Structure 1
């Protein structure tokens, strides 16, 4: 399947200007940097800004869009890092008894698709597959943009590897980049996006796609479950690194689960095909809600 050539990773609305920020990460982004104390300040600055905005009830939000599955070597730190950052924000809301929804300040999303499968490809059926994203960029307030190869981890930010990137200030390019990215990922839903309410708008589109997928194929996100005549179970399985056996019963055991999820570092494409589906999901773009429940909580011995 052809994959989009551009990939959104995060969107932010800054209170003092009530504009937006789009920050793309590639699939192998070491989100594990969120889970450990790195010498780079990006993660802490972002977290502090979210807390500050929440306490002052400012219009500020962060949307991170990243893949369901990545390369085996970075799969665990990616998941664990995202879990830790999301959990930290959620816990902050609970401790301070904030009335607002923390998901409007920080939300994770992923890209995927569901299509009709014709007879020559194993149909009639419908099939679901994750999209592996690789590009990363950043657009701040439609005024500053970055496009390049650097990851948000120590290796890139501290100069331990060679990275290429271009930063632009002013002009029309930053806004054009943001709009192009969102058009690719929200499709016909792009017209519903209000930059001043960026994350709530993206959440509405993603949750609408998730509901359509559940009704037509029995796949539920962000729960990460699958339901058919045999009952409800986990969709994606993981593997124990020590004994190489699946750690949970799932419809798609590891390593197929990571391939269907769009994980990089594989030599082939795979999808989750369901025969005799009355109709494929009618999706509005490629955006779906992500949560810690999709893969479950990985232990240190899992990838």
Structure 2
């Protein structure tokens, strides 16, 4: 086995909670280094020298997992051995994330999982099973035997290597049947693309529902769409545009479910058409977390910035009215 190792070091950015993301990273790729010849302390010193910061916490992420489910901290020699094993099992490649601010990142993840009530993947094998609704309003859902008809994708942007192997889903009507050998490739969401270019695509696969909700928030703000969640739980999202009397006017509808066999959230059906007017107040689609991620550099530069000035910045930069009350 080749002892050489390649790591992608994400540094200079910041961890942000709910959902946990690493915001505004600078990426550095280090190749052909024999880390097995280093002790844990030698490795940490090596990383500190790389990022020019002597007071850091070092994390790595399990391959093909979201940060919430796959992030691990490197604190001692045992952690380092596990890190090396994971990397070599993944073909000698792994991603590092550097925390420069001593944030309680693992506590954030525990809180996020506790609030969600489950860890991704701990769901029934039947990804489209109906569940009890939390309100009295009837919610449509996709029939269990519905099949997405898609053309295979062959776009260079879509084929970017976010994971070591391509992510595919079966074309069966029933997830419990044998998987066919003739599989379609579906688009994979790029979380690093410019926020105002994000849009949902039929068949798109994402790490988890938090990544999909973040995409939808960006999509709503960029276009002034008043999206809302008609169904929102750990395994399914049903999203429409406009509510109440305006509901029937805009045909937009998105249905997505957690695919336990593929360990991804997938957009199963999509009516992408809108005929509504641009809205300045987008309700629950714009959360404090979303605003914080967009204004993080402004807040870091001016920690004493007032709510009024933040609201003005959001209106100026995003044409969006928000209330901090």
Superposition TM-score, scaled by structure 1 size = 0.24
Larger RCO (alpha carbons 8 Å, 6+ apart): 1
| The structure with more radius of gyration | 2
